[in-house]
């Protein structure tokens, strides 16, 4: 039986020859998906435009059409103290709190933008009722430990571009590969490797991923010829 290292070397050589003849299709990297929960009519149009340049934005009206594992990040607009308290305490009896709970369970990145009124109190160093505001601030800190960001819309917009580029870069590095080898699996720091459906995965790469407890996920390319 031929050694798998030899098989991988043969496949590498074949791929080099195909690449030199331009027989390998190019891959179109899609923008990461951002689920926006809440009314966007109160958001500055310029902010939304900035988001749409980096993200494929989805409103919560479309939530039934998309699975949460297809979303790269979720942002809750105009979040009230009801959502902050329920999210911190693990209560899920509304559409928003149920979605927030699912995000935590599935480790989906979350940003929570409190209402302007709530921000004025949470960010006030000398609130009129300090014990009450301190309780809300404790909820905020607990949400941070769960992995959520509680921030202003300006802060979210400022960071969202870099976050989207990081997701796109991480996705494209693997997806653009024509061949996934053992070394690729070993060098990848992520638990999940995303590859295009045109990518050839060597047997050694599959074995290594299995041994390291990693998952190789194949993403279908739009317009790919079969």
Whole-structure pTM value: 0.65
**Number of domains into which the chain is organized:** 2
224 found inside a domain? yes
Last residue within a domain, chosen from 166, 198, 216: 166
Taking CA atoms, 131 is separated from 69, 121, 151, 210, in Å, by 39, 12, 21, 52
Spatial separation of the C-alpha atoms in residues 106 and 71, rounded to whole Å: 11
Could you tell me the CATH number of the domain that includes residue 73? Answer: 3.40.50.1950
Q: Which of 194, 196, 176 is nearest to 185 (CA)?
A: 194
What pLDDT was estimated at residue 11? 62
What pLDDT was estimated at residue 222? 55
Given 3-state DSSP classes, what are the helix, strand and coil percentages for the chain, each rounded to the nearest 5?
55, 15, 30
Spatial separation of the C-alpha atoms in residues 91 and 93, rounded to whole Å: 6
61 found inside a domain? yes
For residues 56 and 142, state if they share a domain. Answer: yes
Last residue within a domain, chosen from 166, 194, 209: 166
What pLDDT was estimated at residue 163? 67
Given its phi and psi angles, is residue 78 left (phi above 0), alpha (psi -120 to 50 degrees) or beta?
left
What is the distance, to the nearest Å, from the Cα of residue 210 to the centroid of all Cα atoms in its chain?
Answer: 23
194 found inside a domain? yes
For residues 97 and 126, state if they share a domain. Answer: yes
For residues 100 and 206, state if they share a domain. Answer: no
Last residue within a domain, chosen from 166, 185, 216: 166
135 found inside a domain? yes
Residues near 62 by Cβ (< 8 Å), separated by ≥ 6? none
For residues 210 and 121, state if they share a domain. Answer: no
What pLDDT was estimated at residue 225? 47
Determine the structural domain holding residue 186 and report its residue range. Answer: 177-226
Given its phi and psi angles, is residue 107 left (phi above 0), alpha (psi -120 to 50 degrees) or beta?
left
For residues 74 and 185, state if they share a domain. Answer: no
Asked if 176 and 193 touch (Cβ cutoff 8 Å), the reply is no
What pLDDT was estimated at residue 226? 42
For residues 122 and 41, state if they share a domain. Answer: yes
25 found inside a domain? no
For residues 156 and 206, state if they share a domain. Answer: no
Q: Which 8-state DSSP code applies to residue 198?
A: T
What pLDDT was estimated at residue 99? 93
For residues 154 and 210, state if they share a domain. Answer: no
For residues 63 and 160, state if they share a domain. Answer: yes
pLDDT in tens, the chain (226 residues): 456 666 666 666 665 555 555 554 444 557 788 999 999 888 889 988 888 888 888 887 766 666 777 788 999 999 999 999 999 999 999 999 999 999 999 888 999 999 999 999 988 888 899 999 999 999 999 999 999 999 999 989 888 776 666 665 555 555 567 788 888 888 776 777 888 788 888 888 889 888 888 888 887 665 544 4
Write down the H helix ranges in the chain.
Answer: 4-20, 45-54, 81-89, 95-105, 116-122, 130-145, 153-175, 182-187, 203-212
């Amino acid at each position: 039986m031929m050694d798998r290292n030899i098989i991988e070397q043969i496949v590498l050589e074949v791929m080099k020859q195909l690449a030199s003849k331009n027989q390998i299709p190019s891959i179109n990297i899609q923008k990461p998906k951002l689920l926006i929960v809440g009314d966007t009519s109160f958001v500055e149009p310029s902010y939304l435009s900035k988001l749409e340049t980096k993200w494929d934005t989805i409103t919560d009206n479309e939530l039934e059409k998309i699975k949460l594992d297809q979303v790269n990040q979720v942002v809750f607009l105009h979040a009230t103290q009801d959502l902050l308290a329920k999210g911190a305490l693990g209560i899920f009896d509304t559409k928003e709190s149920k979605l927030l709970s699912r995000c935590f369970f599935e480790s989906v990145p979350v940003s929570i933008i409190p209402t302007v009124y709530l921000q004025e109190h949470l960010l006030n160093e000398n609130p009129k009722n300090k014990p009450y505001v301190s309780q809300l601030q404790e909820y905020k800190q607990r949400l941070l430990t769960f992995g959520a960001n509680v921030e202003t819309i300006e802060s979210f917009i400022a960071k969202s571009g870099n976050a989207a580029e990081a997701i796109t870069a991480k996705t494209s590095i693997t997806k653009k590969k024509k061949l996934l080898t053992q070394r690729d699996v070993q060098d990848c720091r992520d638990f999940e490797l995303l590859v295009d459906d045109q990518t050839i995965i060597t047997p050694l790469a599959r074995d290594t991923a299995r041994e390291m407890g990693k998952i190789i996920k194949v993403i279908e390319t739009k317009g790919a010829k079969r």
